[in-house]
Amino acid sequence: MNPLNESPHRRYNALTGDWVIVSPHRTQRPWQGQVERLAPGRSPSYDASCYLCPGNERAGGHRNPSYTSTFVFDNDFAALLPHTQSFDFECGLLRARSEQGLCRVLCFSPDHSLTVSRMSDAALALVAAEWGRQFTELSSIPFVRTVQIFENRGQMMGASNPHPHCQIWATESIPFEHTREFETQQAHLRQHGACLLCTYLTQETAAAERIVCENDSFVALVPFWAVWPFETLLLPRRHTGSLDQLSANEQLDLANLMRRLTTRYDNLFESPFPYTMGFHQRPAGGGEHPHVHMHAHYYPPLLRSATVRKFMVGFEMLGGPARDITPESAASRLRACGETHFLDAPGA
């Protein structure tokens, strides 16, 4: 008997220092809820009411150009602003500090109907190339310390528009999640003389049981310490600190793996699969950061079907995260989904 598959236990997250409770025995309890699929619904290639489609007027009054590939613009309702008045407030335990920043939107394609899982590798490679250019440009701004690229897919994840796009936030500070990962990676390099995620990827590749899909440059896997049921981690095989360091071939391989992974997500419940995805990269502003290994996190909320999601409640809000489906089981289910999108299957 493998206790990791049978008994309650905790797993250590080597990247953040956190722990997650895993309760594999709970998957044997009866489930009386519905297992549903959502009608996929086909969006038009152009939507006159979409503020991200080519030629349309945005909510802020600006009009999009008739773009034919990727399109980047400053968010009309940005959460952070570049000319915020500087202040530092402290009163006992009450502290606040001003935060400068830039927020941009990157449209992946002029085609309103597409998703990452339905785009071509060549088109997605243009997105990856633009991510690299945005990192270079934004990290050269003197006050910027972090460039956070992220995509929210689906209404369940708060996406306000289905047009294929992501957001890019350049911040004056280094966010908490980044800081924790930087600290653990730096400590591992000091102690072992090796990159934490390079070492981890070698171990996962040898074990193979949590690998979902891979190619020459990238590997997508369910991390040993995953919290969300079908959480994945996308890692470059080559030690790379940021997206601007990828070669043209690596950009194409990144596109390929993103498409294949998100296709498996969609195939899992034969429905558009919601997730939040984001890249963690080296700090902006130059300097040597040999401990940082660029990677992308995929955090999808779905649990048993297209309409049954995992909620972080009870012990998880008050104590710490927990999961029932083991990461190994999640990886196995994703591998079994195949890479022909369900909408392209015969008879679809």
Selected catalytic residue, list 112, 163, 165, 293 = 165
What pLDDT sits at residue 324?
86
What pLDDT sits at residue 36?
52
What pLDDT sits at residue 7?
83
The C-alpha angle with vertex 192 and arms to 191 and 198, in degrees rounded to 5, equals 130
The span from the CA of 132 to the CA of 41, in Å, is 33
Asked which of 33-37, 214-218, 314-318 is least confident by mean pLDDT, the reply is 33-37
Residue type, 150: F
pLDDT > 70: percent of the chain:
95
Does residue 163 carry a catalytic annotation?
A: no
Residue type, 227: V
- Return all residues near 139 (Cβ < 8 A) that are at least 6 apart: 147, 170, 242, 284, 285, 286
Residue 161 has pLDDT above 70, yes or no: yes
Rounded to an integer, the average pLDDT of 228-236 is 97
What is the band of 29 on the pLDDT scale with cuts at 50, 70, 90?
very low
CATH of domain 9-24+52-338: 3.30.428.10
What pLDDT sits at residue 38?
58
Q: What is the pLDDT of residues 286-303, one digit of tens each?
A: 888 999 999 999 999 998
Rounded to an integer, the average pLDDT of 189-208 is 98
Q: What is the pLDDT of residues 104-151, one digit of tens each?
A: 999 999 999 999 999 999 999 999 999 999 999 999 999 999 999 999
What pLDDT sits at residue 27?
58
**Token pair listed for 146:** 């972090």
What pLDDT sits at residue 30?
40
The span from the CA of 104 to the CA of 111, in Å, is 19
Rounded to an integer, the average pLDDT of 205-222 is 98
Q: How far apart are the first and last CA of the chain?
A: 42
Rounded to an integer, the average pLDDT of 156-165 is 89
pTM of the model: 0.94
Contact 59, 78 (CB under 8 A): no
According to DSSP, residue 113 is labeled: T
For residue 275, CA distances in Å to 15, 105, 124, 186, 299 come to 21, 18, 18, 29, 5
What pLDDT sits at residue 37?
58
- Return all residues near 172 (Cβ < 8 A) that are at least 6 apart: 99, 100, 101, 143, 144, 145
Residue type, 64: N
Between residues 7 and 144, which one has the greater pLDDT?
144
Nearest in space to 337 (alpha carbons), one of 270, 273, 275, 276: 270
Residue 39 has pLDDT above 60, yes or no: no
Contact 220, 7 (CB under 8 A): no
Residue 28 has pLDDT above 90, yes or no: no
- Return all residues near 202 (Cβ < 8 A) that are at least 6 apart: none
Provide the b/e sequence for 328-342 (b: ≥16 CB within 10 Å).
bbbbebbbebeeebb
Residue 3 has pLDDT above 90, yes or no: no
According to DSSP, residue 273 is labeled: P
Q: What is the mean pLDDT of the chain?
A: 92
Q: What is the pLDDT of residues 176-197, one digit of tens each?
A: 999 999 999 999 999 999 999 9
Rounded to an integer, the average pLDDT of 69-86 is 94
Asked which of 56-65, 151-160, 204-213 is least confident by mean pLDDT, the reply is 151-160
Contact 204, 177 (CB under 8 A): no
Asked which of 41-45, 94-98, 297-301, 335-339 is least confident by mean pLDDT, the reply is 41-45
